[in-house]
Copies of this chain bind each other. A is one copy, B any other.
Amino acid sequence: MKKLAIGIDLGGTNLKGIVLGSDGERRHLTRIPTQAEKGGQQVLKNLLSLIGVLIEKSGDKDSVIGVGIGTPGFIDSDGTILGGAENLPGWRGTQVFEPIMEQHGLRATGGNDVTVAALAELKFGAGKGVNNLVCFALGTGVGGGIVINGKVYKGTHGMAGEVGHISVETDGLQCSCGQKGCVEMYASATGIVRLARYFAAGEDSPLAQIAKTDPDAVTSKLVYGHVAKNDSLALKVHHKATQMLGKAVGITINTLSPDRVVLGGGVMMAGDVILEAVKKYAARHCWPEIFEQCTIVPAQLSEDAGVLGAASMAFDEFQ
């Protein structure tokens, strides 16, 4: 009989859920507001309610083997949120798995949102057919996810994969984590905007004009629109961002020798221009033999990576 798993993707704005079949069939994609501003207990209540809706929609509770949850920050193996989820006030310290068992009688597992997205890429997207994969998600920050021997690697306490805080520049930009020179300060959407504003002073290009007269109008999308037009400031920002990202990617390849590195997140809407530059710079920070065994590719799944990965993780752990 076909088994089902529920996958939940917890975002700062929306809670998304899906019912995934063991044959890969995707059903009942559902989205409700997270209501993050109402605090951790309300978020938990909404999460439980969404699981209830999905069980009902599945029409076959006995086939549901469990629930997988992707969440910002760190979730311990017992289901306690350990931190790192700044966009969800009061979420830290919440116990997630016990109420799911109490209310719905289902086992649950969880992982960092980028970590579960990495598993989804391995199962359904840019990593199909490989065993070892690392994801870099270029969004507001730079998140990371690691899949080893086909399974999500979370570390003992669910904290592995913080590749966004690899320090790539000595005495570099001060990061909120306390370090200097974290790759997230350069290659995230906010990092790219920061670089554009910072370098604008010395430039006289169209983008520099915007950055000087209306700094709030600068976005990573605007910067990459100008990269396509060979704007001198945009190119300078692009080179710095991809150089720093390439170094972090190279360090990760040297350490883990993955079959594939997947670059995702909103910044990757810019596509090949980032991919090719990162490949070039990453090669400089790797042993050639190790680099040759790894391909660097863009993510293939976009919005649904979270729910698919979360449900897949439930299959991996409970099937």
Tell which of B168, B284, B293 touches A156, judged by Cβ atoms closer than 8 Å: B293
Residues of B within 8 A of A256 (CB): 146, 153, 155, 160, 255
CB under 8 Å from chain B, chain A span 126-147:
130-132, 144, 146
Q: Binary interface profile of A, 143-174, with partner B (CB < 8 Å = 1, else 0)?
A: 01010100001111111111101111110100
How many copies, total? 2
**What is the interface residue range for chain A against chain B?**
35 or more
Q: B289 touching A159 by the CB < 8 A rule? A: yes
Q: Binary interface profile of A, 76-116, with partner B (CB < 8 Å = 1, else 0)?
A: 00000011100000000000000000000000000000000
Any B CB within 8 A of the CB of A46 = no
Q: A157-B257, A157-B293, A293-B156 are in contact. Are A167 and B247 (CB under 8 A)?
A: yes
CB distance from A111 to the nearest CB of B (A): 12
Q: A179-B285, A284-B179 are in contact. Are A254 and B290 (CB under 8 A)?
A: no
Give the interface of A toward B (CB within 8 A). Answer: 74, 82-84, 130-132, 144, 146, 148, 153-163, 165-170, 172, 177-179, 181, 247, 250-252, 254-259, 284-290, 293
